[in-house]
Amino acid sequence: MTTIPRDQWYVAAYGREIGHDLFSRTVCGESILFWRTEAGEVTAMSDRCVHRRFPLSQAPSRLVGDAVVCGYHGFTYGADGACVAVPGQTRVPRTARLRSYPVVEQDSFVWVWIGDPARADATRIPRAPWLDSPDYATVSGMEPLAARFGLLVDNLMDLSHETYLHGGYIGTPEVAGTPITTEVDDAAGIVYVSRHMDDAECPPFYANSTGLTGRIARWQDIEYAPPCLYKLHSRIAPVGSLPNPDGTDPDAFHVEVVYAITPETENRTHDFWAVARDFALDDTSVSDFIAEQNRTVVLQDVAALDVLEQVIATEPAGYQELSINIDTGGLAARRMLTAMLQEPATAAAR
């Protein structure tokens, strides 16, 4: 049985990945062809020719203006996926049309709707405005994960694992040692997990990027909008410093860590990560440091989850997990994902 909710928006790519070239990515088991039209719009359609299913992203298939010409026998499709020419005859079969996907470019991401196009509502795409805001400096990347996307959701919803898996990078003893508060809003489709460490060791990731040394206040506020968008609002400040009542927070450093968790197939995942900061905006050495550190941390997770996927894929059925307090948010996320599988129509209508 599938674990991938349909009738949902997923991040397929960063906008920068798609130019006036044929670009293919598999999302939720569907091979999708992307390109940017001459007017600059991203377009998304099936990457399988309707004739004999040759991949349209595969050379010698090519773009000619705003049309893609299949490299096998020359079926030619417009930006809306409709076939405009076939070889040797003037009549184009009426049904010659590639499946096209609703697509929205927003917050540096290219979002694609997987499911019934009639249900696509772009206003329901969760936002991550920092990623293309001039008030933040952002580094980002994407790592392939050979594991089901639910394992990455589990991983990100419980940051106590930082202490063990990411010691020396972002993990310190206080992360695993500090209680969390969890909130769920089914109508809004949000799971929120808050961990406020008021007197904690400063891990190298933040010491070297902020210049703060010694003890810090470190707040981690997770906001997950299942299935795809995960945001970690990270606040780093001198011990004792609090935000002002009006919301300003001049003594703190703010880092918005964003993940887009996109199933490639049932057992593989696109692990998009981005880190936006509101300090040292023009300091490329800080950007380089954060990019290198965060990629290292992501790859530590990837290595662990790739192993876990193999364990799960080869174990006998019926393994009983044991959940403890740190899993409160992860269990809430799982429940919301399960509900989306059972009632895709309801989930989409919310």
Say how many C-beta atoms besides its own lie within 10 A of residue 198's C-beta.
Answer: 16
Nearer to another protein, 46 or 182 (CB): 182
Q: Which range of residues in 29-37, 119-127, 186-194, 288-296 is near another protein by CB under 8 A?
A: 186-194
Contact between 324 and another protein by CB under 8 A: the answer reads yes
For residue 321, give the 3-state DSSP assignment.
Answer: coil
Least separation, in Å, of the C-beta of 194 and another protein?
6
Least separation, in Å, of the C-beta of 155 and Fe ion?
6
Contact between 194 and another protein by CB under 8 A: the answer reads yes
Fill in the amino acid letter for 67.
Answer: A
Q: CA dist 81 to 44, 102, 350, Å?
A: 8, 12, 29
Contact 344, 7 (CB under 8 A): yes
Contact 126, 224 (CB under 8 A): no
Say how many C-beta atoms besides its own lie within 10 A of residue 325's C-beta.
Answer: 10
Least separation, in Å, of the C-beta of 17 and another protein?
33
Euclidean distance between CA atoms 267 and 289, whole angstroms: 31
Euclidean distance between CA atoms 166 and 297, whole angstroms: 6
Q: Please, which of residues 272-301 interact with Fe ion by CB under 5 A?
A: 301
Exactly one of 118, 187, 311, 317 binds another protein (CB under 8 A); that residue is 187
Element (H, E) at 334: helix 328-342
CA angle (267 as vertex; 266, 271 as ends), nearest 5: 100
Nearest by Cα to 9 from 106, 132, 103, 118: 103
Exactly one of 185, 199, 283, 292 binds another protein (CB under 8 A); that residue is 185
Q: Which range of residues in 96-104, 124-132, 137-145, 318-326 is near another protein by CB under 8 A?
A: 318-326
Residue showing the smallest CB distance to Fe ion in the complex: 301
How many of the chain's residues bind another protein (CB under 8 A)?
23
Nearest by Cα to 131 from 114, 157, 110: 110
Contact track, another protein, 214-253, x by CB under 8 A: -------x--------------------------------
Nearer to ligand FES, 17 or 30 (CB): 30
Residues that bind ligand FES (CB under 6 A): 49, 51-52, 54, 70, 72-75
Q: Using CB under 8 A, list all residues that contact another protein.
A: 179-188, 190, 192, 194, 196, 221, 323-325, 327-328, 331-332, 335
Q: Using CB under 5 A, list all residues that contact Fe ion.
A: 301
